Amino acid sequence: MTDETAPAPAVHPLAGQAPTQASQAEISDEIRAIEAEARARVADGGKPELHPRRNYPPYRSSILRHPTHALVRVDPEEVERVSPAFGHTDVNPLESDLTIQHNAEPLGERITVSGRVLDGEGRPVRHQLVEIWQANAGGRYVHKRDQHPAPLDPNFTGVGRVITGDNGEYSFTTIKPGPYPWRNHLNAWRPAHVHFSLFGTAFTQRLVTQMYFPGDPLFALDPIYQSITDPAARARLVGSYEHELSVPEWSLGYRWDIVLTGPKSTWMESEEAHD
Amino acid sequence: MTDTSTEQPAPEYVQTPAQTVGPFYGFALPYERGPELVPGHHPHAIRLHGTVTDGAGEPVPDAILEIWQADENGVLSREQGALDRDGFTFTGFGRAAVNLAGHYTFTTVKPGPVGDAAPYIVVTVFARGLIHHLFTRAYFPEDAAAHAGDTVLGAVPAERRHTLVAVADGTPGGAASYRFDVHLQGDAETVFLDFDA
């Protein structure tokens, strides 16, 4: 059955394998045009967009993969208002240190990334799972499909996990990842980033995102970062360098707090009272 | 409610934006027995499987899916151990990366109904190109009577409801199998859900 009233799937003319890749200048023009349109919409009274656009053509892979129908808005039911229970039987405390997983120290700039996971009311998201993964200092992932000819580091895998503490706090010790090239367009480079996966107290709070480092010159050029059209919203993905978190002669400290909003149900209030 | 008009506004805790899972999660997110909520020899094991396809009808070879569900009695597990399975504890959570043909497989049990809803499994889809993950639900074909009164199915246009109902496709090895394909675009585009927060 085809639905005659449904809009035809929006297939971007640049979808699929373009015979020639766009230049950075063309991608940057597309990015600027979308941002100007978003800014005009906000100036007309529209709300700034908190999340990335699902359909963001400068990021070519989104063209054939974003839903073309509007999402169906519903109230979460009991299953979605709860989240899996993770704990210290799942995650070894040593997994928060990505620099001790091999026989020797990895190459690169040793850093800590710490912060708190909070809900939309500012309450800590306690005892939940945070997973990270990243490229090494040379910008290479331990992944078969990453063909970037930067060296693998035998002392760095780039995977960490932690369970948040009583105040929603987490901390990872790792090395600063390098930027890496990708094939979205010609001469495309991702800003250095750490992938984060988070669970809240409700499954609707599930979040996969990326943390960036302050002052990266690649921000303006990157269609994944720029898919969040509101400058204040995308700035929420940038960790801050905090000198008091640096450890003398050991590591540089970054802070990044994460907010997971979800349904504000009284059920969650009563659940919290059990703690 | 207190009158806050004369007070300092409370600090705002604004949602952290999502970003794509990217193509290179394979060494990080999948874990041993992640797709096996129960072992395959569990007497009530079912298979939930399907293919993720894009707007050109091509399989998506770099998607990863998660499911979250109640147990057979409609109870939501509070047990730890979803990442370190002991083969006996039902945690309700599973994670499966697709293979190069875009195909995923979970081994689980059919959940009992929770509240007034028909039985369903929450399915979350992540992939390169999906800048924000997608939520959907897999219902079961034998529950058509319960579907008629299900609030969420009722909110979905009738002609698209079928995309949320898995298809029974046999009993390989004696286990009931359900096929739940995820179409990111196209004529049979899967209904994806957004939750009022």
Segment A91-107 shows an average pLDDT of 96
pLDDT of A14 reads 52
Q: Phi then psi for A164, rounded to 5 degrees? A: -65, 150
**Would you state the pLDDT for residue A70?**
95
The reply to whether A190 belongs to the active site is: yes
* pLDDT, tens digit (0-9, with 9 covering 90-100), for B50-75: 999 999 999 999 999 999 999 999 99
Instruction: Quote the pLDDT of residue B8.
Output: 61
Instruction: Report the pLDDT value the prediction gives residue A211, as an integer from 0 to 100.
Output: 98
* Residue A255 reports pLDDT greater than 60: yes
Distance from C-alpha of B63 to C-alpha of A50, rounded to nearest angstrom: 24
What's the rounded mean pLDDT across residues A71-99? Answer: 94
Nearest-CA distance B81 → chain A (Å): 5
Q: Do A78 and B114 touch (CB under 8 A)?
A: yes
Binary contact (B152, A159; C-beta < 8 A): no
Among A2-11, A19-28, A198-207, B82-91, the least confident range: A2-11
Q: What integer pLDDT is reported at residue A270 of this predicted model?
A: 31
Residue range A33-57, pLDDT digits in tens: 999 999 999 999 999 998 999 999 9
Predicted confidence at residue B7, as pLDDT, reads: 59
Ranges of residues in chain B with a pLDDT under 50 are: 1-4
Mutate which of B80, B83, B124, B131 to test chain A, going by most A C-beta atoms within 10 A? B131
Contact B185 A66 (CB under 8 A): yes
Higher pLDDT, A1 or B103: B103
Q: Do B196 and A69 touch (CB under 8 A)?
A: no
For chain A, give the percent of residues with pLDDT over 70: 88
Query: Distance between CA B102 and CA B60 in Å, rounded?
Result: 5
Mean pLDDT (whole number) for A84-113: 95
Strand segments, DSSP code E, in chain A are: 72-74, 110-119, 129-134, 159-163, 169-175, 180-182, 188-190, 193-198, 207-212, 240-241, 252-255, 258-260
Query: How close, in Å, is residue A134 to chain B by CA atoms?
Result: 9
Neighbours of B57 (CB within 10 A): 12
Interface residue of A65, A68, A78, A255 to substitute, partner B, most B CBs within 10 Å: A65
* Alpha carbons B159 and B153: distance in angstroms, whole number: 11
Catalytic residue, chosen from A56, A170, A180, A212, is A180
Nearest by CB: A9 against B13, B156, B185: B185
As for the ipTM of the complex, it is: 0.94
pLDDT digits (tens, 9 = 90+) for A128-174: 999 999 999 999 999 877 778 889 999 999 999 999 999 999 999 99
Q: Is the pLDDT of residue A30 over 90?
A: yes
What's the confidence (pLDDT) of residue A146?
Answer: 75
Cβ contact A143–B69 (<8 Å): no
Q: Which of A185, A193, A212, A254 is catalytic?
A: A193
Q: Which residue on chain A is closest to B164 by alpha carbon?
A: A72
pLDDT over threshold 50, residue A180: yes
pLDDT value at A263 more than 50: no
In 3-state terms, what secondary structure has residue A115?
Answer: strand
The rounded mean pLDDT for chain A is 89
pLDDT for the residue B172: 87
Model pLDDT, residue A147? 77
Annotated catalytic residue A143:
no
- Tell me the C-alpha to C-alpha distance, in Å, between residue A19 and each of A13, A16, A163, A203, A254: 12, 9, 46, 41, 42
For A76, which residue in chain B has the nearest alpha carbon?
B195
